[in-house]
A = this chain, B = another copy of it.
């Protein structure tokens, strides 16, 4: 029978607290700024959008933040998620590397996103908020918030990037099955949407626009708050259950990673796996290489600048310091919708600046090729986002073979591709190409970054 393939934990082993990387950093990340005054914002600036508990988590400095029982109770529906040893992939690659992957696709909506969706829905419920708005790109976040809201009896309006809304009707059907309302963005429901449609009736939407719409609706209605699926500190925090479980599971495997990889769009999936390992390293534990895998077509970490920028297209959010392509950057229409965001989480950007992590960018075709290789050896069809981590892991495994060295590789398989089969069908039909943006557009987007007093 050979070595074990899966390392499982019991539901009693779900972490009792989230891990806050801020507690272990050598320096804190720069604070968010008010775009008008250029001064750090206080908690009250976020109060119209988020419940107070989440605002407090946004600026928390303690290392451990207790997970409320009702949230852990929901986590038990699918957590702890399995850690797999990719023995068949190793054999196929003929590599001396040992490859492990943490599989978050076992959650009901099929990705890591419910880790924070459930927490956010619960904190809103606990503070008496009956209604949430949010945006979604590929639909993983929207369906996860819809799932979480259905369990706590909240209403949800999801603004879905229009091109994805039409490409992925089944994600909409999934949100509706969970009881949420799903609207194509830009929509006629918001001032932002109406303005954009007046200028460009055929606008296909972007995450930045959808965020603007969802924020506007939350700011306008007393009974409504906003939920974001990535980027913010509290969102990254909630994802750290992934890495905490993985540390225990690697112990069960009797191994420790030399290199950790995860795809990075807004950064929460990456942070979820990486932060607990990085924290252990910062507290004197084993050193581990950590690689954020992003698309060549939307390369915030590898091609963006580290600067204050808006989180959305309309410029309604506070300014946050991050690796950004500029909030007006419109990424080309590649299939990994969850990686089509102009910026990177401030906390991830900060540790990149500190030299604590690496970044690598991959093209669309090599990622789908890696996804098919993975499906034919490990069985699971990865979401297009997750294929970036698979591609990165395969590169590491081949480098280990080249070097003739053992190497322990751990990556985060953030979700399955069951709702993304059109992308695979297009890949087999030869319709996919490597996507790129124009250097002029990138330069123009970067030139329009907001000016902030140093």
Partner-B contacts on A (CB < 8 A) = 1-2, 4-6, 8, 10-11, 69, 72-73, 76-78, 84, 88, 106-110, 147, 150-151, 169-170, 172-174, 176-179, 372, 375-381, 416, 418-419, 421-422, 424-425, 428
If A376-B150, A425-B169, A425-B176 touch, does A8 touch B5 (CB 8 Å cutoff)?
A: no
Closest-CB distance, A74 to chain B (whole angstroms): 9
A170: nearest residue on chain B (CB-CB)? B421
User: What is the bound-complex CA distance between A11 and B377, given in angstroms?
Assistant: 19
Closest-CB distance, A416 to chain B (whole angstroms): 8
User: What is the bound-complex CA distance between A77 and B379, given in angstroms?
Assistant: 8
Contact, CB under 8 Å: A173 / B376: no
Closest-CB distance, A27 to chain B (whole angstroms): 38
Residues of B within 8 A of A69 (CB): 1
Number of copies: 2
User: What is the bound-complex CA distance between A320 and B419, given in angstroms?
Assistant: 39
If A72-B1, A376-B179 touch, does A106 touch B108 (CB 8 Å cutoff)?
A: no
If A176-B425, A424-B176 touch, does A108 touch B380 (CB 8 Å cutoff)?
A: yes
Residues of B within 8 A of A172 (CB): 425
A73: nearest residue on chain B (CB-CB)? B1
Closest-CB distance, A278 to chain B (whole angstroms): 29
User: What is the bound-complex CA distance between A173 and B368, given in angstroms?
Assistant: 13
Contact, CB under 8 Å: B73 / A2: yes
* Apart from A77-B84, A106-B106, A108-B380, 8 more pairs, CB < 8 Å: A1-B72, A5-B77, A147-B379, A170-B421, A170-B425, A177-B424, A177-B428, A178-B376
Q: List 13 A-B contacts (CB under 8 A).
A: A4-B11, A5-B77, A6-B76, A8-B8, A107-B379, A108-B379, A109-B379, A150-B375, A173-B422, A174-B421, A177-B428, A178-B375, A179-B376
Closest-CB distance, A404 to chain B (whole angstroms): 27
Contact, CB under 8 Å: A372 / B151: no
Residues of B within 8 A of A77 (CB): 5-6, 84, 378-379
Residues of B within 8 A of A8 (CB): 8, 10
Contact, CB under 8 Å: A419 / B418: yes
For A1, A8, A78, A421, which residue has the most chain B Cβ atoms within 10 angstroms? Answer: A421
For A5, A150, A173, A376, which residue has the most chain B Cβ atoms within 10 angstroms? Answer: A173
User: What is the bound-complex CA distance between A207 and B376, given in angstroms?
Assistant: 27
Closest-CB distance, A190 to chain B (whole angstroms): 24
User: What is the bound-complex CA distance between A106 and B379, given in angstroms?
Assistant: 11
User: What is the bound-complex CA distance between A377 and B72, given in angstroms?
Assistant: 16
A76: nearest residue on chain B (CB-CB)? B5
User: What is the bound-complex CA distance between A5 and B123, given in angstroms?
Assistant: 22
Residues of B within 8 A of A73 (CB): 1-2
Closest-CB distance, A435 to chain B (whole angstroms): 20
Closest-CB distance, A351 to chain B (whole angstroms): 33
Residues of B within 8 A of A169 (CB): 421-422, 425
Contact, CB under 8 Å: A173 / B2: no
If A375-B177, A428-B173 touch, does A6 touch B11 (CB 8 Å cutoff)?
A: yes
Contact, CB under 8 Å: A177 / B372: yes
